[in-house]
Chains A and B, each alone.
Chain A
Amino acid sequence: MTDIDDFMLLDRYLAGECTVSEQVQVEEWVGKSPVNRATLEGLREAAARVHQTMPPERKADLMGSLRRRIAASRRHPAFRNAPGLSILPSRRRGLRFTAGLAAAGLLLIGTSIGSYLVLSRSGPDVATTSPAAHTISTRPGEQMSLRLADGTVVLLAPASTLRLPLTYGQPARAVELEGQAAFTVTHDSTRPFVVRAGGVVAHDLGTRFVVRAYAEDTLADVVVAEGVVAVTRGSSPSRAEDRLVLKRGERARATPDGRLALTRDVSLDLYYAWTEGRVVFRRTPLREVVIQLRRWRNVDIQLASPALGERIFTGAFRTDEPTAEVLRLIGSALSLQVVHAESGRYTVRAK
């Protein structure tokens, strides 16, 4: 496949509905030429700008300075018979004093990678320099980037904890996780990288993958973006069904009943969006949406009844968007009412 001959594929890509193979197809097409990249980015940016309109006061301001420039040009003899009107009264002079307002007119949402990290610390060499117990935690709304001694990079999601043994890399490379993290592992076949989380063990064979194992979810997911990862229940399982080998776009899920389930063709965007400052939901029950929002922004959101928690939501936000705006959009999508109390607490109820 060398060309995208179906516009609807771009539509599905932008809507986050692509399968992994379709996603690869779009990304290859984008990589092929700057024009292709400009097409995709142009569509995304123009769609993002739909609500970024110039305030009426700004328009009136600009109209006022245009009137002054017209008046100035009339007085200026050079404009009486100037062919081609090559000289214009300085636009700089007329506009400079309002330049500070320009930013308010047309704020542009960047959708580029990494522009909305809540917090990103390029960590020091944690494994070898920190004398204390290597327990690194993020609070809700906080995110942290760590570079380990072997070059492995861990991006720790909000409300998550990573434990690094003092002996990390000497020679074993094993970490423990509660919560969520994206790993980009420097491959070393003599010292395999191992993550223990929520009863599963992910054995990296040189790769990028996400582990999501929040205690309140009672699930553990391992999703692979690149390379190969072996996932086991426990450290050395005896049964064959307690071990899975995952490739790109595959997910292992450990369920509370002790099973390990393989899903192919999961949306990588769904699992990696948070690393780019976005939070994405795909047919997610509202109670789960609320749990995730609480992790991303330390706020109090209540559902008026448990039944509301079963409503299904699909949508995407930037992690820096105001809570009120996020809840307003969810409310409009599901025909629900959102009440914002003085105390800062939000309550979601049926209309």
Chain B
Amino acid sequence: MSPSDLPTADDAPGVPDTIQAGDLQAFERLFLAYVDPLARYVYTYVKSLEVAEELVHDVFLRLWLRLEENAEPIRSVKGYLYTAARYEALDHLRHQHVEDRHRVRAGQLALTFDTPAMAADAEQRLVAHELAAAIQRAVDDLPPRQREVIHLRWIRQFSHEEIAATLGIAVKTVAEHLRRATDHLRRTLPPSVKDPE
């Protein structure tokens, strides 16, 4: 795949930023632009692609019904979609947790989730999920070239020269893309990972 045809919401022209009731065309453009990044985002919580796709589906259905009900247009749709997707994911995890507890009561699972240690553990895991989701969103928010550069560097472990040759850009442009990408990602990370300055 050539780096320029990577799909992303940001560089797809005509993806609406505001949406109002009844505008099915805009709604469909919105869905096609965001279903993929949102599914990746939700996946970081639920760890199942099938569930992630279903939850994103629900996000859009709720959005449509909400518009019909309120008739208030939604501004900054992207922020709305990510927030809604996060709630769907957390809600799904909560229900899963309740189901697990029911199974414990029914004697089907030899586990207990009610000790303080387990609760603390569950909370820490949730923090880790939130972080992974924030990183996923931050990576999806990067311009395609920057995303491609971090992929070639962190996964392919290419040298700067090799990345430049692969993308057909100058070596110093590679360094610039990398700097911008890491600057953007650094802002999503918890304080202990940031530069002290």
Contacts and interface: CB of A to CB of B under 8 A. Distances in A.
B7 A332 contact: no
A343 interface: no
B61 A3 contact: no
A85 interface: yes
In this complex, the interface size class of chain B, counting residues with CB under 8 Å from chain A, is 35 or more
A interface: dominant SS: helix
Nearest to A10: B193
A119 interface: no
Contacts of A102: 49-50, 53
Given A47-B151, A332-B166, A35 B39 contact: no
A29 to B, nearest CB: 8
Contacts of B127: 34-35, 38
Interface in A82-110: 85, 88-89, 91-92, 94-95, 99, 102-103, 105-106, 108-109
A88 B131 contact: no
Nearest to B165: A335
B155 A48 contact: yes
Main secondary structure of the interface of B (DSSP, over half): helix
A53 B151 contact: no
Interface stretch (A66-74, A235-243, A301-309): A66-74
B135 A316 contact: no
B89 to A, nearest CB: 14
Q: Output the residue of A50, A59, A73 with the most chain B CB within 10 A.
A: A50
Interface in B57-88: 57-58, 60-62, 64-66, 69
Contacts of B178: 11
Contact of A315 (B40, B50, B125, B158): B158
Interface in A299-346: 313-317, 329, 332-335
A350 interface: no
B157 interface: yes
Contact of A314 (B6, B7, B159): B159
Interface string A44-79: 111111111110000110110110011001000001
Nearest to B127: A35
Contact of A39 (B44, B65, B135, B158): B135
Given A4-B193, A51-B1, A63 B156 contact: no
B36 interface: yes
A52 B52 CA distance: 15
B46 interface: no
A103 B28 contact: no
Nearest to A49: B40
Given A54-B36, A65-B57, A47 B193 contact: no
Contacts of A132: none
A59 B49 contact: no
Interface stretch (B12-20, B93-101, B104-112, B182-190): B182-190
B136 A49 contact: yes
B150 interface: yes
Contacts of A314: 157-159, 162
B153 A14 contact: yes
B171 interface: no
Contacts of A216: none
B36 A85 contact: no
A16 interface: yes
A63 B136 CA distance: 23
Nearest to B121: A34
Most chain B beta-carbon neighbours within 10 Å: one of A37, A65, A314: A314
A313 B162 contact: yes
A133 interface: no
- Closest A-B pairs by Cβ, 3 of them: A38-B128, A333-B162, A42-B135
Interface of A: 3-8, 10-11, 14-16, 33-39, 41-54, 59-60, 62-63, 65-66, 69-70, 73, 79, 81, 85, 88-89, 91-92, 94-95, 99, 102-103, 105-106, 108-109, 111, 280, 283, 313-317, 329, 332-335
